[in-house]
Amino acid sequence: MSLDAEADIVPDFRDRLSLLIGNEDPFGWAKRVGIPSSTFDRIWNSGTTPKAPHLVRISQATGVSIDWLLTGRRGGAQEGVPEGTPHDFVPIPWLRIPGADTIARGLAIGRLALDRNWLRRAGCPQAETVAMATAVGDSMEPTIRDGDLLLVDTGIADFRDDAIYLLALGETFRVKRVQRLLNGSVVVKSDNPAYAVETLSPEQAAETNCLGRVRWIGRVC
């Protein structure tokens, strides 16, 4: 077997991978995660198990442990979780962001299986109100880069000073840093200084929906 070849077949690995991909196009998902098409073809169509670098990419992109990917075990050691703590994987919707600062309303293109314990450590105690999305555009650089993974707590419907939120401004959806002023106005800021600060009047702020707070930012290198 060559150095580029994948590992041997592991029973049920493809089933667990299918759970993570959800309704998303498998090869589109692989491209987003950073797995070459030729490699993913062997994984998806031949049933082989990816080698360590690709397992790490899958683990980082989905939040599940490599141990679970390989064995399906829900218990055991994982970073930040004591030995013997059972894992409870819950399906999380993956939202599509098709263009800069926009997101298709209510559109989930797939689901991820994330560990409830990991979600709690990320600041999301209620897994039922969590969604994942991929950032598009450079308005929030260097904090958030194009292609970064965003964990959004949709159970938060109001602003707290200087946190990052997913906002619905009319038909436009944005990921921005928000500050509420005493007079009811809302300051919407980008971390990239090339973008101007916007101040929404109390009337505009009342029409702005907070769709959730960004709790975690992940980057696939």
3-state helix, strand, coil in the chain (%, to 5): 25, 30, 45
Place of tokens 């709790």: 215
Judge if pTM exceeds 0.75: no
Cα distance between residue 51 and residue 183, in whole Å: 56
pLDDT at 156: 83
What are the residue ranges of helices labelled H in the chain? 13-21, 26-33, 37-46, 52-62, 66-71, 116-121, 202-206
Cα distance between residue 40 and residue 44, in whole Å: 6
- Alpha-carbon dihedral angle through residues 120, 53, 17, 155, given to the nearest 10 degrees: 20
pLDDT at 218: 84
Cα distance between residue 93 and residue 112, in whole Å: 6
Domains in the chain (CATH in brackets) are: 1-73 (1.10.260.40)
Would you give per-residue pLDDT tens digits along the chain (221 residues)? 222 334 444 457 887 888 778 777 889 888 888 899 999 998 898 888 888 888 888 887 777 777 777 776 654 334 434 333 455 777 787 776 544 444 434 445 567 778 888 888 888 878 778 888 888 889 999 999 888 888 888 888 777 777 899 887 766 778 999 988 888 888 999 999 999 999 989 888 888 888 889 998 887 65
166 DSSP β-pair partners: 175, 212
Burial of 21 (0-12, 13-18, 19+ CB in 10 A): buried
For residue 144 the two structure tokens come to: 């958030």
